[in-house]
Amino acid sequence: MEKSRDRRVRMTRQMLKDALMEMLHDQDIHHVSVRALCQTANVNRSTFYRYYGSPLDLLTDMENNFLDFLSAAIRQHATDPVRIIETTCKYLEAHLEFGRLIINNNVDPLFPQKLFSLSAVREAALTKYADENDESAQEYRYNFITYGAYRIICVWLNKPQRESPAQIARLMSAFFSFT
């Protein structure tokens, strides 16, 4: 019984996420009403409020799922930046619509700040340069690597014919001299 309940909860949450992504193509997050979201997802409002307080909370949950995935990928592949990039690109490719929405700043203009404030991202970006003591140089390097990588991922996600995640990871590695 518990397993079927968990499956229903996951399915309901996925329906809400899918409905939100559909609605975000036509309107910004601040104009998405709970009523319209529930109607699109074919879910009762009381069911929505069981899990979320607002459409923005739902979006934040979706973003946090990605940020948690990224942090786990960084921990898992801490010594292999190419593998981190490839794993992240595979995730974004598997969740292409969501990836495009958050990466293109169409939905949450603060998402890049949330991403770049993750300590795991900073550590991964600067691992190769850990011995450098110049804090100013470290800050410039961090911004160069993260914003450059972010922009490359943005361009890659928006291409109709994308390179494979492995290819884009190798390309980015060459640009940033990770290897």
Residues 110 and 161 in one domain: yes
Per-residue pLDDT tens for 149-165?
999 999 999 999 999 99
* pTM score: 0.86
| Mean pLDDT along residues 95-105 | 88
b/e map 112-124, b = 16+ CB within 10 Å: beebeebebbeeb
Residues 49 and 63 in one domain: no
Number of domains in the chain: 2
Residues 139 and 153 in one domain: yes
Residues 42 and 119 in one domain: no
Residues 173 and 104 in one domain: yes
Residues 174 and 139 in one domain: yes
pLDDT band of residue 88 (cuts 50, 70, 90) is very high
Domain that holds residue 137: 59-179
Residues 47 and 63 in one domain: no
Mean confidence (pLDDT) of the chain: 90
pLDDT band of residue 3 (cuts 50, 70, 90) is low
